[in-house]
Chain A
Amino acid sequence: MVLAPLPIVLNRVFNVSELNARIRDRLATDLRLSDLCARGELSNVVNHRSGHRYFTLKDSDSQISCVLFKNHGRRLDFELENGQNVLIFGDVSFYHIKGRVQIVVRAIQKDLGLGARHQEFEALKRKLGEEGLFDEARKRPLPLYPGRIGVVTSPNGAALRDVLKVLGSYPAKILLSPAQVQGESSPESIVLALTLLRGKADVAIVCRGGGSVEDLWPFNSEIVARAISRLDCPVISAVGHETDVTIADFVADVRAPTPSAAAEIVKPDVSGLKEDLKATERRMERSLAVILERRKNRLARLKSGVSYKAISRRLEEMHRHLDVLSERLFQSEAERIELMATRLDVAAGKLDELSPLATLTRGYAIAIDTSDNKLIRSVLDVSLEEEIDVLLTDGHLRCSVIDKNQQKRF
């Protein structure tokens, strides 16, 4: 068998020791590879009887050998077990005897499931995201001038102090709904505090100050996320520092980098508002001036319309109207008089018929005593020689009583 010819550029041929020494030197001078922290899962844990511990640190794709020497392992307060998530602190070194890269671990601690928690975080984020809880369309607009500001936070925390300081004298009622913002029962406490604000606030701030990832963890819980999405007013989240992002931030209508910032967002610009009020006052005054001006112009227009000609024409019209009216009145008066005359005639005729004088035309006569103008009804009413008047239809006769006879003639 013929070997392929070696490359020609062999101006230096390493022996293995020299090569490994070079690799070691190279690694040792890279500052990024010392005093480093790494996170991963333990496997191949070997507790050597020498007191040194050997293990592999891995994640889903890669692995690296580690050694915890006896002197550093003495302070270890837990037993290393395969599958544990840990944080290690140490330096990358090159074990030249075996040509192996490894981490010389100087400290190790349980990762308290942070790796798992990170996955949990991502899973929940994905789940709620798919449900649409983070949708822009769900984000509610903040009220311009909130009258009731809910604050869900620890009553003793710096976050509350910051919020109150920023809100200052803005005229709103601040509803503090106290919550435990870290620890085991914190999520339930936050949920309760949020629920208490139902129907009472125009806007709510959910906040806490900075802390470790652990401290902020309650704000990554599903029940808190759902309570925020269910609250009947817009919610501003402000958890930890600017760089901390929690599930609560995704669900909230607005995410503020810090509690102070949240308060700034909620609080209207008071001096701007005062400016607006001033402007409003001016606008109203201007409008009123315009209205008055318009009335004045209208009045002027009306006045110019009242000319002498217009008045005399109007007077003429009125005169004509008066004429018509009086004519009608006159006419109706004449008719009335005529009517009355007719009625009078009729009445007079009737009266005539009934009059005793009418009997005279039929040949009767009426005798009247001239001394007292009384009707003479009996022969006894007169004495001999007395003068009486006898009324006939066409005049009267002055007579003297010549004789009285009590016997009836007919």
Chain B
Amino acid sequence: MNEGEQGTEVQSLESSLKELEDIVLALEDGDLSLEESLKVFERGIYLVRRCNSLLEGAEQKIEVLTGDRPE
């Protein structure tokens, strides 16, 4: 039942990368106000750091599914 919890951290690699893409596009678009730009930029840098640390500090996580028949 805790499917949502499964791999939240790793899922955020994918979603972080996606968010990063959006941020880059928004920044390049240049439609944001200065204040928003700075905020978005800050968020982008945070995401880059986070992705890097995910890629560096990861240990192999293995979960063995039990053979119980689902439902």
A residues adjacent to B (C-beta < 8 A): 143-148, 155, 164, 167-178, 192-193, 195-200, 202, 270, 273-274, 277, 280-281, 283-285, 287-288, 290-292, 294-295
Contacts and interface: CB of A to CB of B under 8 A. Distances in A.
B10 A147 contact: yes
Contacts of B67: 178, 192-193, 196
Contact of A287 (B14, B20, B27): B27
A143 B48 contact: no
B60 to A, nearest CB: 6
Nearest to A165: B60
B13 A147 contact: yes
Contacts of B62: 164, 173-176
Contacts of B55: 170-171, 270, 273-274
A168 B60 contact: yes
Interface string B3-33: 1001101110110010010011001101010
A284 B44 contact: yes
| Chain B facing A: main interface SS | helix
24 contacts: A145-B14, A147-B13, A148-B11, A164-B60, A169-B58, A169-B59, A170-B55, A171-B13, A171-B54, A173-B6, A173-B61, A174-B61, A176-B62, A178-B65, A192-B67, A196-B70, A197-B65, A280-B20, A284-B23, A284-B48, A287-B28, A288-B37, A288-B38, A290-B30
Contact of B27 (A170, A171, A195, A291): A291
Contact of B28 (A197, A202, A283): A283
Contact of B34 (A283, A290, A291): A291
A173 B7 contact: yes
Given A169-B59, A288-B27, 18 more contacts: A145-B13, A147-B13, A147-B14, A171-B10, A173-B61, A173-B62, A174-B60, A176-B65, A177-B64, A178-B64, A178-B65, A192-B67, A193-B65, A198-B70, A273-B51, A287-B30, A291-B27, A291-B37
Nearest to B64: A176
A290 B60 CA distance: 41
A193 B64 CA distance: 11
A178 B52 CA distance: 32
Nearest to A294: B30
Contacts of B11: 147-148
B48 to A, nearest CB: 5
B58 A171 contact: yes
B41 A284 contact: yes
A283 B66 CA distance: 46
Nearest to B69: A192
Contacts of B54: 171
A179 B71 CA distance: 19
Contacts of B37: 288, 291
Contacts of B3: 199-200
A161 to B, nearest CB: 12
Given A177-B65, A178-B64, A280 B10 contact: no
A274 B17 CA distance: 11
B70 A167 contact: no
A273 B50 CA distance: 13
Contacts of A192: 67, 69
B26 to A, nearest CB: 9
A164 B60 CA distance: 8
A281 B13 contact: no
Contacts of A200: 3, 6, 65
A175 to B, nearest CB: 5
Nearest to A189: B67
A150 to B, nearest CB: 8
Contacts of A164: 60, 62
